[in-house]
Amino acid sequence: MKDLTEGHEGRLIWNFTVPMLIGNVFQQSYNLVDSIVVGRAIGKSALAAVGASFPIIFLLVSLIIGATMGFSILISQFFGAKDMARVRRAIDTSYIFLFFASLLATGLGLLFSERVLQLLNTPPEILPQALTYLRITFGGLVFLFGYNSVSAILRGLGDSKTPLYFLVFSTILNAALVLFFVTVLHWGIAGSAWATVLAQAVSFLLAVVYLNKTHKVLKFRLKGFEFDRAVLKKSLAIGLPSGVQNMLVAGGMMALTRLVNGFGTNAIAAFTAAGRVDTFAVMPAMSLSMAISTFVGQNIGAGKMERVRKGLKTALYISGVTSLLTTLVVVVFGWHLVSMFNSDPAVVAIGSRYLLIVGGFYIVFSSMFVVNGALRGAGDTFIPMIVTILALWGIRIPVSVFLSARIGTDGIWWGMPVAWLAGLALSGAYYSTGRWKRLGAVKPAPVPAPAAPPEEEEAEWNVSAF
């Protein structure tokens, strides 16, 4: 556990961010390895099938991930206030809620996968592979939710390093399994999905073993949980707007996927490959966003608002530098990065245009994400949700539809930076109002008034004052 309420703001945020960034890199390596092996060993149709499946998976898990974020923010604020009893109840409540939520998400995913793929106008030649990949992935959602819940708890307590150790091992395991299942056993796209599910299960089980051996507050047990309705209600109030926001983002991705699907398999494969590169490119911003959420949560819980301001300023500076470096790499080497997944010239040409257009605006994306992270850490998740809805559904999708009808797939890609610019403007304007400061789950204790001086001293002070 790490206390972020004392010490140099920049050093704390950076040290907290780096393990999460490395962890996110390894976590996304699941998708990266799957996509490279599938695209190279099976072909561009299989790569397109994986890409067509992703928005559906993201849609179902988004609402639950939002709830997880709510628990993480509550835990960070309770920990900042040194209220360990409520930390324990928040952890227990998160376990119970997320277990049943994962079962519900699995059922919905298995029931409606095929219908949703058809609604997305998925080309018939990739539909069977996409359906196979989806059904296996949904069968293992309980492990994905379990690991993410443990990671969120540890982040709320200021520990971003421990989840990394589990993730490194499971990522290496995933790479070995996907190579074995696809290239040796020739299980096709099913082998890729099974490798991911098994690796996630191992990651979750290792995390549970660690919790049981370290600290009694973190211990995972099969009975004796304390379910706190008040904690659940507050967590959902904080997390559901983010969950709804993520669901709307996923819905937007599905709308854009349908738009891309209309341009054929080459466009879908290119979108999948470039999207994998894009995911890595925005990881520093996403990791900083999670770090600043925990930092803001703990310091608001401790009543240290000046540290909140300094922490956000530092996070924006770090994100600006890292995003500029990322832009340089992606723009210069975009063609080579896309060709790692599939060497088809048409696929590479479309994917490299995506990176050229989108990559020039990573600094805008990173700034928007960091500001929204600070707002979420304060418990204000409603406004970021509204901003996302407006930027995505009010700007990105209409712009992409309008421009794609005139300039092809480039028009789809241009919708992204336009939406980011609008989102940053709206989030920055709201942050400047200061209204988010009133929404913390933990209110700082009032500062006691100084004792009244003796009467004679008070009289003397009054005389001298006049």
- Whether residue 183 is predicted with pLDDT greater than 80 in this model: the reply is yes
Residue 30 confidence class, pLDDT cut points 50, 70, 90: low
User: DSSP of 349-413, one letter per residue?
Assistant: HHHHHHHHHHHTTHHHHHHHHHHHHHHHHTT--HHHHHHHHIIIIIIIHHHHHHHHHHHTHHHHH
Of the candidates 125, 54, 69, 456, the residue with the CA atom closest to the CA atom of residue 276: 54
How distant, in Å, are the alpha carbons of 64, 76, 157, 276 from that of 219?
A: 22, 17, 14, 35
Global pTM reads 0.66
- Whether residue 269 is predicted with pLDDT greater than 50 in this model: the reply is yes
224 Cβ contact partners less than 8 Å away, ≥ 6 residues apart: none
Tell me the range of 18-27, 117-126, 236-245, 393-402 where mean pLDDT is highest: 393-402
Q: Is 229 exposed, middle or buried (0-12, 13-18, 19+ CB in 10 A)?
A: exposed
- Whether residue 466 is predicted with pLDDT greater than 50 in this model: the reply is no
Alpha carbon distance 466, 36 (integer Å): 81
Q: Which pLDDT does position 403 carry in this prediction?
A: 95
Residue 27 confidence class, pLDDT cut points 50, 70, 90: low
Q: Which pLDDT does position 221 carry in this prediction?
A: 67
Alpha carbon distance 276, 263 (integer Å): 19
Of the candidates 361, 369, 378, the residue with the CA atom closest to the CA atom of residue 415: 361
Of the candidates 280, 28, 284, the residue with the CA atom closest to the CA atom of residue 171: 28
Q: Which pLDDT does position 353 carry in this prediction?
A: 94
Q: Is 295:13 a contact under the CB 8 Å cutoff?
A: yes
How distant, in Å, are the alpha carbons of 305, 343, 417 from that of 297?
A: 10, 46, 29
Of the candidates 32, 142, 73, 97, the residue with the CA atom closest to the CA atom of residue 290: 73
Alpha carbon distance 428, 413 (integer Å): 24
Least confident interval from 91-95, 221-225, 407-411: 221-225
Q: pLDDT per residue over 44-80, tens digit each?
A: 888 888 878 877 877 777 666 676 777 877 887 787 7
- Give me the mean pLDDT over the 351-370 stretch: 92
- Whether residue 303 is predicted with pLDDT greater than 50 in this model: the reply is yes
Q: For 159, phi and psi rounded to 5 degrees? A: -105, 105
Tell me the range of 147-151, 235-239, 423-427 where mean pLDDT is highest: 423-427
30 Cβ contact partners less than 8 Å away, ≥ 6 residues apart: 171, 174, 196, 199, 200
Least confident interval from 143-147, 195-199, 263-267: 143-147
Q: Which pLDDT does position 215 carry in this prediction?
A: 66
Q: pLDDT per residue over 90-135, tens digit each?
A: 888 888 888 888 888 888 888 888 888 888 888 888 889 989 999 9
- Whether residue 220 is predicted with pLDDT greater than 80 in this model: the reply is no
Q: Which pLDDT does position 233 carry in this prediction?
A: 85
Residue 249 confidence class, pLDDT cut points 50, 70, 90: confident
Q: Which pLDDT does position 444 carry in this prediction?
A: 46
Residue 395 confidence class, pLDDT cut points 50, 70, 90: very high
CA dihedral 67, 247, 158, 431 (to 10 degrees): -110
- Whether residue 217 is predicted with pLDDT greater than 80 in this model: the reply is no
At 2, list the tokens.
Answer: 């790490």
User: DSSP of 2-70, one letter per residue?
Assistant: ---SSS-HHHHHHHHHHHHHHHHHHHHHHHHHHHHHIIIII-HHHHHHHHHHHHHHHHHHHHHHHHHHH
Q: Which pLDDT does position 242 carry in this prediction?
A: 67
pLDDT mean across residues, the chain: 81
- Give me the mean pLDDT over the 347-365 stretch: 93
At 164, list the tokens.
Answer: 């990394």
Alpha carbon distance 430, 436 (integer Å): 8
Alpha carbon distance 366, 422 (integer Å): 13
Q: Which pLDDT does position 282 carry in this prediction?
A: 84
Give ∠ CA 431-297-150 in degrees, rounded to 5.
Answer: 130
Q: Which pLDDT does position 459 carry in this prediction?
A: 30
Q: Which pLDDT does position 417 carry in this prediction?
A: 93
Q: Is 242:66 a contact under the CB 8 Å cutoff?
A: yes
Alpha carbon distance 311, 292 (integer Å): 7
At 145, list the tokens.
Answer: 């939710």
Report the Cα 385 to chain-centroid distance in Å: 14
Query: How many residues are recorded in the chain?
Result: 466
Q: Is 265 exposed, middle or buried (0-12, 13-18, 19+ CB in 10 A)?
A: buried
Q: Which pLDDT does position 222 carry in this prediction?
A: 65
The residue assigned the tokens 């799957």 is 34
Q: Which pLDDT does position 450 carry in this prediction?
A: 43
At 51, the amino acid letter reads G
> Domain extents for the chain?
9-438
Q: Which pLDDT does position 460 carry in this prediction?
A: 30
Scored b (16 or more CB within 10 A) or e, 393-413 reads bebbbebbeebbeeeebebbb
- Higher-scoring residue by pLDDT: 344, 69: 344
Residue 218 confidence class, pLDDT cut points 50, 70, 90: low
- Give me the mean pLDDT over the 417-438 stretch: 87
- Give me the mean pLDDT over the 186-201 stretch: 89
- Give me the mean pLDDT over the 229-252 stretch: 77
